[in-house]
């Protein structure tokens, strides 16, 4: 619960007089807090008050007249557009939610340097203005129209998010390849967001109460900057986002979204109720260098109070602990809430703080409650409904894979032998002898003396936590022939499962695969294990006709863009092809021998991609099919990939091809068939 509240009890509101406790003036006297002059934009349109890490500049504003605030007397509130991110003015205060990425560590410091000359500043301002004026034309080239910037949809939101993460991965790769200057803080997410915003690659700029187009309940985000780019929450640090609306006499504020980034370890917490703390006052931090003070009924706190009386919907984003980082958080959109009550209580420092009770609107898909259920399964507080086996791999994998059926009475899939990797009849001979890399410790990004890095075109294929940077014709990993240490970061696909998977019974597509853990885009999931078979043999004896567990690299797959696109990053003009290059066709059957990948279903709009990976042993190399997350995947979302279509089917265009199967993925762009 936010602000250290230990339970969900709410004191009677009649026992508190907010005006007396906090000496708050009448609402009309608070008007200076919300200036409406075009030269002085409302507080809600400003970013947090810095500072920024080394190498970053504030997001310069997109110039334009300030729109008139909407009329509160109308039944539907037309929210004020988010016009710009003007340059922040430091006031020495920290927001209630810590750093821009939700971490609680010390804020990044802006390096102190000599000011620019007036002439150079004017030149830069003119250059920025010229670039800003050209953004409209660039938007058509980059695929986001002005209308889509104001109001997005699922396709536009997904495009923005995938572009952002591809750019973030590429920036992280470049940062890993060189030492951070003077111990500077590396913030690839902020750099990526700066570039995206400057090029107009964002959507849902128009602030609104309620649902944001293209964003679903349960969607997860690994950066606050990502939420800003798609219009879910426009504040990079502040926990309360609001808009200014016009009433009969004066302007007023309404809360549109909040980020609750506190801890949620109390099992007694109601999944549909959030007790949220107000902002300001430093009421929970008892430090000598910061003086605690009562919170004030202004800005975000005032907006929440007004939303209590207006009874408008408020979007709630919950910040959860990231298991892969001690400071980072994962943000889950938990849907729409309404504020039912507010009161004042003492914080840890003894000063007064505001509390707000928010209750989730019924009928929405599960989001935070899914996280709470998984946490209880892990800790053994509750049993998994429909559990058949706690680990169907019998210890063959580094993490257990549970088998669950809460749909019908089927007790499990047909018998097969669990095998964690691919079984080759023969390997691909190398044209030139090689004994692997010559690294004695661990392969280091940027070390061109490493032969494995040179095979990958001079780039290290992975960044922190084993995240794949981009699709490549063939990723070369260090193998048994390499003298580097076993936990070298270039052995990602060989070190077992990274997320806790579950095989479950679907309602209409047999058995499927999903994860207990949130999965970040680029995360290794598993490889496709099974027996390598020959195409000629398959056709002669009809072995593959009744085999639903075949992976075939000769099939035709729908093209898609996943890597960082050229032009987004200055000086990064080389585009690595995303077309796979495999020496000879690879067909793997998992009918009799396989792993969890055999349960991954097809989708025409998948969330998983496959990538060929090779590593050497005894002057031979073996190709493996590794699966990586295409996008951020929430817990318990089904994992799917594109099965592709037969080349013969593509050639004759016939709908009567005997190998074709009806697709039940249900996605908007469903082809209707696969195989």
Helix/strand/coil (H/E/C) assignment for every residue in 352-377: EEEEEEEEECCCCCCCHHHHHHHHHH
CA atoms of 61 and 44, how far apart (whole Å): 14
CA atoms of 514 and 524, how far apart (whole Å): 14
Same domain, 439 and 495: yes
pLDDT over 50 (residue 56): no
pLDDT in tens, 168-215: 999 999 998 875 444 455 789 999 999 999 999 999 999 999 999 999
Q: Does residue 616 or residue 297 have the better pLDDT?
A: 297
CA atoms of 220 and 371, how far apart (whole Å): 12
Cβ count near 520 (within 10 Å): 20
Residue 20 lies inside a defined structural domain of this protein: no
Cα→Cα distances 560→159, 361, 467, 469, Å = 11, 37, 19, 15
Same domain, 263 and 212: yes
Q: Is 525 helix (H, G, I), strand (E, B) or coil?
A: strand
Cβ 605 vs Cβ 536: under 8 Å: no
Domain boundary among 341, 364, 382: 382
Cβ 174 vs Cβ 571: under 8 Å: no
Q: Which residue has the tokens 């802006």?
A: 110
Cα→Cα distances 345→4, 26, 301, 435, 620, Å = 12, 21, 14, 68, 69
pLDDT in tens, 486-502: 889 999 999 899 999 99
Residue 246 neighbours by CB under 8 Å, 6+ apart: 68, 69, 70, 71, 72, 252
Residue 86 lies inside a defined structural domain of this protein: no
Cβ 2 vs Cβ 277: under 8 Å: yes
Residue 330 lies inside a defined structural domain of this protein: yes
Q: Which residue has the tokens 């991954």?
A: 600
Q: What is the CATH number for 554?
A: 2.170.270.10
pLDDT of 317 reads 96
Same domain, 554 and 431: yes
Q: Does residue 673 or residue 128 have the better pLDDT?
A: 673
Residue 312 lies inside a defined structural domain of this protein: yes
Residue 195 lies inside a defined structural domain of this protein: yes
Total domain count, the chain: 3
Tell me the pairing of strands 329-346 and 501-505: unpaired
Residue 91 lies inside a defined structural domain of this protein: no
Domain boundary among 382, 408, 437: 382
Q: What is the dihedral of CA 90, 92, 93, 97, to 10 degrees?
A: 70
Q: Which domain holds residue 435?
A: 390-563+577-645+657-674
Same domain, 319 and 411: no
pLDDT in tens, 208-261: 999 999 999 999 999 999 999 999 999 988 899 999 988 777 788 999 999 998
Confidence of residue 17 (pLDDT cuts 50, 70, 90): low
**Across 86-90, 570-574, 615-619, 650-654, least confident range:** 86-90
Same domain, 197 and 238: no
pLDDT over 60 (residue 94): no
Q: Which residue has the tokens 């089904």?
A: 638
- Residue 475 backbone phi and psi in degrees, to 5: -90, 130
Domain boundary among 206, 225, 254: 206
Q: Does residue 654 or residue 76 have the better pLDDT?
A: 654
Same domain, 608 and 499: yes
- Residues 503-507 have a mean pLDDT of 96
pLDDT of 617 reads 73
CA atoms of 16 and 342, how far apart (whole Å): 10
Residue 41 lies inside a defined structural domain of this protein: no
Q: What is the CATH number for 353?
A: 2.30.280.10
Same domain, 194 and 212: no
Buried b (16+ CB within 10 A) or exposed e, 274-285: bbbbbbbbbbbe
The proportion of the chain whose per-residue pLDDT surpasses 90, expressed as a percent, equals 49
Q: Does residue 139 or residue 183 have the better pLDDT?
A: 183
Same domain, 378 and 395: no
pLDDT over 70 (residue 480): yes
Q: Does residue 86 or residue 544 have the better pLDDT?
A: 544
Cβ 597 vs Cβ 531: under 8 Å: no
Residue 535 lies inside a defined structural domain of this protein: yes
Same domain, 358 and 437: no
CA atoms of 26 and 29, how far apart (whole Å): 6
Cβ 457 vs Cβ 574: under 8 Å: no
Confidence of residue 283 (pLDDT cuts 50, 70, 90): low
Same domain, 489 and 557: yes
Confidence of residue 639 (pLDDT cuts 50, 70, 90): very high
Same domain, 189 and 212: no
CA atoms of 659 and 37, how far apart (whole Å): 66
pLDDT of 574 reads 62
Cβ 157 vs Cβ 230: under 8 Å: yes
Same domain, 167 and 155: yes
Cβ 98 vs Cβ 284: under 8 Å: no
Cβ 464 vs Cβ 517: under 8 Å: no
Q: Is 499 helix (H, G, I), strand (E, B) or coil?
A: coil
Roughly what angle, to the nearest 10 degrees, separates helices 135-142 and 118-133?
A: 50
Q: How far apart are the first and last CA of the chain?
A: 49
Both structure tokens of 206: 């128009």
């Amino acid at each position: 619960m936010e602000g250290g509240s230990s339970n969900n009890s709410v004191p009677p509101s009649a026992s508190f007089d907010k005006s007396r406790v906090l000496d708050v003036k009448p609402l009309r006297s608070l008007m200076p807090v919300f200036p409406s002059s075009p030269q002085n934009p409302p507080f809600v349109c400003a970013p947090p008050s810095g500072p920024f890490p080394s190498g970053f500049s504030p997001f310069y504003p997109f110039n334009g007249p300030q729109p008139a605030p909407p009329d509160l007397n109308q039944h539907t509130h037309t929210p004020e557009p988010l016009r710009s991110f003007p340059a922040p003015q430091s006031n020495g205060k920290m927001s209630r939610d810590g750093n821009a990425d939700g971490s609680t560590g010390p804020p990044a410091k802006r390096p102190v340097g000599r000011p620019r000359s007036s002439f150079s500043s004017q030149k830069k301002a003119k250059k920025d203005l010229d670039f800003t004026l050209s953004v409209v034309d660039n938007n058509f080239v980059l695929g986001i129209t002005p209308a889509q910037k104001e109001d997005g949809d699922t396709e536009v939101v997904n495009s923005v998010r995938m572009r952002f993460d591809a750019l973030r991965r590429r920036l992280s790769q470049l940062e890993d390849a060189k030492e951070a200057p003077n111990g500077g803080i590396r913030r690839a997410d902020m750099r990526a967001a700066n570039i995206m915003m400057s090029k107009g690659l964002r959507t849902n700029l128009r602030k609104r109460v309620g649902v944001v187009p293209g964003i679903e309940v349960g969607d997860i985000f690994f950066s606050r900057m990502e939420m800003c780019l798609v219009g879910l929450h426009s504040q990079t640090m502040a926990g309360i986002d609001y808009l200014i609306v016009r009433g009969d006499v004066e302007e007023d504020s309404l809360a549109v979204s909040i980020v609750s980034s506190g801890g949620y370890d109390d099992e007694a917490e109601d999944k549909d109720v959030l007790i949220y703390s107000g902002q300001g006052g430093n009421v929970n931090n008892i430090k000598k260098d910061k003086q605690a003070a009562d919170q004030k009924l202004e800005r975000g706190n005032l907006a929440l109070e007004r939303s209590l009386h207006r009874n408008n919907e408020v979007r709630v984003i919950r910040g959860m602990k990231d298991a892969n980082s001690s400071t980072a958080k994962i943000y889950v959109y938990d849907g729409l809430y309404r504020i039912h009550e507010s009161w004042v209580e003492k914080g840890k420092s003894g000063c007064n703080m505001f509390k707000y009770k928010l209750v989730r609107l019924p009928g929405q898909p599960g989001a935070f409650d899914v996280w709470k259920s998984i946490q209880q399964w892990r800790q053994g507080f509750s049993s998994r409904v429909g559990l058949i086996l706690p680990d169907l791999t019998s210890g063959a994998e580094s993490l257990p894979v549970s088998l669950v059926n809460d749909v019908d009475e089927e007790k499990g899939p047909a018998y097969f032998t669990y095998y964690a990797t691919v079984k080759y009849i023969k390997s691909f001979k190398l044209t030139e002898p090689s004994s692997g890399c010559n690294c004695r410790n661990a392969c280091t990004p940027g070390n061109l003396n490493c032969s494995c890095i040179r095979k990958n075109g001079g780039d290290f294929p992975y960044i922190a936590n084993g995240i794949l940077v981009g699709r490549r014709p063939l990723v070369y990993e260090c193998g048994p022939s390499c003298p580097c240490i076993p936990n070298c970061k270039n052995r990602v696909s060989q070190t077992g499962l990274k997320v806790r998977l579950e095989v479950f019974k679907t309602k209409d597509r047999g058995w499927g695969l999903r994860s207990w853990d949130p999965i970040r885009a680029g995360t290794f999931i598993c490889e496709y294990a099974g027996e390598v078979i020959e195409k000629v043999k398959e056709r002669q004896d009809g072995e593959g006709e009744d085999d639903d567990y075949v992976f075939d690299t000769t099939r035709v797959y729908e093209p898609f863009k996943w890597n960082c696109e050229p032009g987004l990053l200055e000086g990064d003009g080389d585009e690595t092809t995303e077309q796979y290059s495999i020496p000879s066709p690879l067909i793997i059957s998992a009918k009799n021998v396989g792993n969890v990948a055999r349960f991954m279903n097809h989708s025409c709009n998948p969330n998983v991609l496959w990538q060929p990976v090779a590593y050497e042993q005894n002057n031979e190399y073996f190709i493996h099919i590794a699966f990586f997350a295409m996008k951020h995947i929430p817990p318990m979302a089904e994992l799917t990939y594109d099965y592709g279509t037969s080349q013969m089917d593509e050639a004759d265009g016939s709908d009567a091809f005997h190998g074709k199967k009806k697709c039940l993925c249900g996605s908007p762009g469903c082809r209707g068939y696969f195989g």
